[in-house]
Amino acid sequence: MYKRQFDNQHIKYCPIQNIVYLCTVSKEIGTKVEKNFFHWAALKDIMKEEITLQVLTLAMLASKGIKVARLAGNRNFSEKNIKEKKKSLKKCGMLSAAIIISAKKALDEGLEVVDFETGKAITYENADKYVVLVDANHRFKAYLELRKSDDEYKGDFYVMYPLQENISIAEMLAEINVATDPWKSADYGKGAAMVIKEKLPLLEAINELTAKGYSLDSTVKWLTFGNKVTKSVLANAMNGQISETLRKENGIERGRRLIAAAKKSFAEDFLKSRNLPDWIISKVDDFEGSKAEFEEQMSDFLGNIDRERATDIEKTKGTRGGDSKETIINRKLNALWNKKAA
């Protein structure tokens, strides 16, 4: 609760409930306020602007019965990232406040909201009891774990409302994470799926693979035989600017079948980088048959490389002052491909 005194009037503003309270000392003052309603409205705007600039703590929120929620579609937690955040919190505390918005605002924008700790869905019935973290999910997760496991840690978690209230949460997410780049490229697919209402099979397929650890670059190449779905394309989609590239579906099943074939010979970790899909794409232009014939022959080739040769390819390293790792991998694959074609 924010308090400020103007002459004989006490103004209180509660950012959680978004209510301004006027406490008067006498009826006479109350009458004056009623007669000057325009000034009261202006004062309310001033109060809201001032509270926006204030940093709040979890203790302040908890004292009002307010809990923390998160967007259900936000990126997966990284244990490595959480470990790093714990070290940072113990050493330096929080250096900047996390951004929060009301749960009702998130629901109004069609986003799914869940309790940060329990994962239980938040509805309009209990939305007034929650604020939603727009960023700093890993920091908050690290904070919670520290509070539970480290008796010496006494730090608090600081939050604030965004300085710009008139932009959508989707825009907010995109701007925060493009400008400061705390997200990895693959996180943008999940962010886009979280806010886009249109069904996009390609986006769903991208998120399926990146969730398994495939890089965004390799994922897009497996599924499209190109590289036009970039981090920027996904960030723009979060802002409602959906590229036609994201609406294409023709390469999805082909990519899945080629991956399934390659997994018969190679360890999946090898498929997660761009080396193998890059090589496959390089063979398309040289192939004289149809697309269906190419897929059939390539699937047969990938699924029948003996394990010894596949392991040799997986362990390839570049040479200092000589050929790169990619060049050597391509040479080995070309030799096997040409041998099969002969």
- pLDDT reported for residue 192: 85
- pLDDT reported for residue 28: 37
- pLDDT reported for residue 329: 95
Q: What is the chain's percent helix, strand, coil content, to nearest 5? A: 55, 10, 35
3-state secondary structure (DSSP) of residue 256: helix
Q: pTM above the 0.75 mark? A: no
Task: Give 234's Cβ-side CA count (13 Å radius).
Answer: 27
Q: Which amino acid is at 179?
A: A
Q: Find out whether 11 and 33 touch, Cβ atoms under 8 Å.
A: no
- pLDDT reported for residue 67: 94
How far apart are the C-alpha atoms of 133 and 130, rounded to whole Å? 10
Instruction: Assign residue 333 a region (left: φ > 0; alpha: ψ between -120 and 50; beta: otherwise).
Output: alpha
* 257 sits in which H/E element: helix 252-262
- pLDDT reported for residue 342: 66
Q: Kindly write down the DSSP assignment for every residue of 117-160, as one continuous string.
A: TT-PBP-TTTGGGEEEESS-HHHHHHHHHHHHH-TT-----EEE
Edge-first strand order for the sheet with 113-115 is 56-57, 158-160, 98-102, 130-133, 67-71, 113-115
How far apart are the C-alpha atoms of 13 and 1, rounded to whole Å? 6
How far apart are the C-alpha atoms of 134 and 112, rounded to whole Å? 13
Question: Nearest 5°: phi and psi at 276?
Answer: -70, -50
Q: Find out whether 168 and 186 touch, Cβ atoms under 8 Å.
A: no
Indicate the DSSP class of residue 57.
E
- pLDDT reported for residue 179: 57
- pLDDT reported for residue 47: 47
Which neighbouring-strand residues pair with 131? 68, 102
How far apart are the C-alpha atoms of 141 and 333, rounded to whole Å? 44
- pLDDT reported for residue 26: 39
Q: Which amino acid is at 304?
A: N
- pLDDT reported for residue 75: 59
**Which residues are within 8 A (CB) of 292 and not within 5 positions of it... i.e. 6 or more apart?**
none
- pLDDT reported for residue 177: 64
pLDDT means over runs of 10, the chain (342 residues): 44 45 42 36 47 74 91 77 90 88 91 92 94 90 92 88 81 69 73 85 94 93 93 84 92 96 96 95 88 94 95 91 91 92 71
- What token pair was written down for 209? 């693979």
